[in-house]
Structure 1
Amino acid sequence: MHRLAHFDVAKTFRRPRSKIAAQLVFGLTCALAMIGLRTLVDFIAPAAGPFALVYPTVLIATLFGHWRGGLVALLVSFGWAWYFVLEATSSFTFVVATDSARVAINFAASSILIIFAEAFRRAVRNNADRAELEIARRKLLMADLEHRTKNNFALVASLLAIQKRQDTTPGIEEALDLAINRIHTFKDAYSNLTLDPDDDSDIDMVEYLSRLTTRVAKASLHENVRIDTDIARMVLPREKAVAIGLFTNEALANCGKYAFADGRAGSVKLRFQQADDDGWTLEILDDGAGNAAKASTEKSGLGSNLFTAFAMQAGAEHEIEIGESGARVVLKSRPAEPSVH
């Protein structure tokens, strides 16, 4: 219906004469179609309702071919019905005295239909044009907002990086690193998003998580810690993708902060897989300090409110396991609730 409401036979033409010609041809085409249909009806009910099909013909011709198309459709279809369908066929004479008034009333009603159909068409078109202009304006504003937001993220990250270089206190340096990584995670999410309503707002998780993992690993993990990724090709809505990215950022930052804090060599494995129920599972495993770092980990808040908040935003449940030979962090989407019929 949306496309039908915007249909206009003259829209594709630029020259005024071409537009008028298209409208006239469309009106004639509608009239010829009505004549063909009326001819078929005559085999079943000859002379019944001679002007009945004129009304929808005029309406369609006016809505999509402007008033010119409607007028052509009226004159051709009405004249044909009067000449060939009304009694005394193949003649404009009236057999019944009241037929003259009948013809005049039908012609007047059809003419009024053109007036109202044209007014309705113009009102719809004007409203559609205003809506399109407003959409274009909002797209421009949203694009500017997106650009400014990404620039602000980059500016804040740069300011924190400058502060980090000026203050080498270990605790403050680690806190600044974590803040910078979080800001970059938001910035990366914005880089993958579009605020154009005509495009979908899903994120390619392969590209997003790969870039995020590379950046966080470079900032948080030692050179002797290898990171392996296995990311399924999947797209997710931006809200969930951003939450998963923040959860991943936090988990990898904790690997560098606790699992390999003593400089030991090791590995981190990140798996993002699609489940059979169209859900997904994020799993991050490390072979770091494990229980040896458990006390400081719990004290610092691994599995704290941040993880819970990110999991809720992603519509998922999280689980953290710390053993003798490392840690395992899992974020798993909740199964979709069955629809109620």
Structure 2
Amino acid sequence: MQRLANFDVSRQFVGKWSKVAAQTMFGIICAASMVGLRTLYDLWAPTSGPFAMIYPTVLLATLYGHWRAGVAAFCVSFAWAWYFVLPAPQSFLFTEATDPARVLLNGVCAIIVIIFAEAFRRAAHSTMDTIREEADRRLTLLADLEHRTKNNFALVASMLEIQKRRIPHAELHGPLDDAVGRVRTFADAYSGLAMEQGKEKDVAIGPYLDMMLTRLERAALPQNVRLFREIDDIKLSRETAVAIGLYLNEAVSNAAKYAFPDNRAGTLAVYFHCRDGKWRLTIEDDGVGEEALSQTPGGLGSKLLSAFAQQAGATHHAGPVLNGFRTEMRVADEALA
């Protein structure tokens, strides 16, 4: 229905006269369609309501082809009905004294329909243009905000790096390095979003997560750990996509840090599955399993994962499995069971 409301037969034409020709031709086609329907109707009830079908014809022609199409449809259909339907058929002569007034009244009414239909069309298109401009403005502001957010995170990370160099106590460098890494993770999530999706309102999750996993594979995973991915491509809101990206980054970083100690080889698998509008993100490794959980009981990483899941409107679950450790964020259990 929305596409039908925005339909305009002359929109694809550039030149003024080509638009005029398209609109006029559309009006003639509408009138010809009315003539065909009227001819079929006359087989059942000839000469009844000679001008009745003119009103919907000029209405549709005007709404989708501008006033020129309405006028063209009016002229053709009105002249045809007068000549072929109104008694006496195949003549512009009147057989009754009331016929001239009736023809004049029908003509005036049809013109009124054209005037109001054109006014409504212009108002509707003006409103749609205003809505589109406002939407484009909001998307531009959102993209600018995301760009500034990314830059601010990068600035904070740089300041933490400078502060770390000024601290002589080496035991304090580790927590600062963790803080810098997490801040850079936030910056990467917004940077990747802008790079992959531009100013689109919704985000295609497939390319976005693929890009983030490629970065993580290069930067965080040791060479002895193989990364496997299986990602369904759906579109989600930008806010949800950022939360998923941050969750993925944190979970993969934790697995790389704790699941494969002492150069242990293994596999890290990432699954993003969607069914019936519900989705689930799973990060699973075949590392040391429960030992990894003992490394960070109730730590900041777990709290961040819960916060990211809450931002995405999902729930966070983590724990050891038979052959390793699983971290999972899901919207609904029953939809993906």
TM-score by length of 1: 0.81
CA distance in 1, matches of 2:274, 2:133: 44
Is the Cα–Cα contact under 8 Å of residues 268 and 287 in structure 1 kept in the other structure?
no
Q: Partner residue of 1:63? A: 63
Write the deviation string for residues 183-203 of structure 1: whole angstroms up to 9, x where unpaired.
222222223323634553425
Judge which range, 130-139 or 170-179, deviates more. Answer: 130-139
Write the deviation string for residues 259-288 of structure 1: whole angstroms up to 9, x where unpaired.
74xxx3324532113569664421134349
Runs of 5+ unmatched residues, structure 1: 218-222
Q: Which amino acid aligns with 1:320?
A: G
Is the Cα–Cα contact under 8 Å of residues 290 and 320 in structure 2 kept in the other structure?
no
Identity %: 42
Q: Partner residue of 2:226? A: 228
5 Å-filtered alignment, 1:171-190, equals: 171-190=171-190
Q: Partner residue of 2:105? A: 105
1:318 aligns with 2:322: no
In structure 2, the CA distance between the partners of 1:310 and 1:123, relative to structure 1 (3 Å rule), is closer
Is the Cα–Cα contact under 8 Å of residues 186 and 246 in structure 2 kept in the other structure?
no
In structure 2, the CA distance between the partners of 1:142 and 1:305, relative to structure 1 (3 Å rule), is closer
1:245 aligns with 2:244: no
CA distance in 2, matches of 1:249, 1:282: 7
Is the Cα–Cα contact under 8 Å of residues 25 and 69 in structure 1 kept in the other structure?
yes
Q: Which amino acid aligns with 1:2?
A: Q
Secondary structure, in 3 states, of the residue corresponding to 2:231?
A: coil
Q: Partner residue of 2:258? A: 255
Q: Partner residue of 1:212? A: 216
5 Å-filtered alignment, 1:1-341, equals: 1-167=1-167, 169-193=169-193, 194=197, 196-197=199-200, 199-204=202-207, 205-217=209-221, 226-235=224-233, 237=236, 238-239=241-242, 241-249=244-252, 251-252=254-255, 254-255=257-258, 260=261, 264-267=262-265, 269-273=267-271, 279-287=280-288, 290=291, 294=294, 297-298=296-297, 301=299, 304-313=302-311, 315-321=314-320, 328-331=325-328, 333=330, 335-337=332-334
Write the deviation string for residues 24-65 of structure 1: whole angstroms up to 9, x where unpaired.
222222111211221111111111111111001111111122
Write the deviation string for residues 276-311 of structure 1: whole angstroms up to 9, x where unpaired.
9664421134349938x94x643x727753343344
CA distance in 2, matches of 1:124, 1:329: 53
Secondary structure, in 3 states, of the residue corresponding to 1:266?
A: coil
Q: Partner residue of 1:220? A: none
CA distance in 2, matches of 1:317, 1:286: 20
Is the Cα–Cα contact under 8 Å of residues 178 and 253 in structure 1 kept in the other structure?
no
- How well do the aligned residues superpose, as a CA RMSD in angstroms? 3.2
Q: Which structure is larger by alpha-carbon Rg, 1 or 2?
A: 1
Secondary structure, in 3 states, of the residue corresponding to 1:116?
A: helix
Question: How far 1:158 moved relative to its partner?
Answer: 2.2
Is the Cα–Cα contact under 8 Å of residues 289 and 320 in structure 2 kept in the other structure?
no
Secondary structure, in 3 states, of the residue corresponding to 2:328?
A: strand
Write the deviation string for residues 131-166 of structure 1: whole angstroms up to 9, x where unpaired.
222233223322222222222222222222232333
In structure 2, the CA distance between the partners of 1:248 and 1:213, relative to structure 1 (3 Å rule), is farther
Q: Which amino acid aligns with 2:258?
A: C
In structure 2, the CA distance between the partners of 1:216 and 1:160, relative to structure 1 (3 Å rule), is farther
Q: Which amino acid aligns with 1:269?
A: T
Question: How far 1:312 moved relative to its partner?
Answer: 4.2
In structure 2, the CA distance between the partners of 1:31 and 1:288, relative to structure 1 (3 Å rule), is closer
Count of equivalent residues: 322
Runs of 5+ unmatched residues, structure 2: none
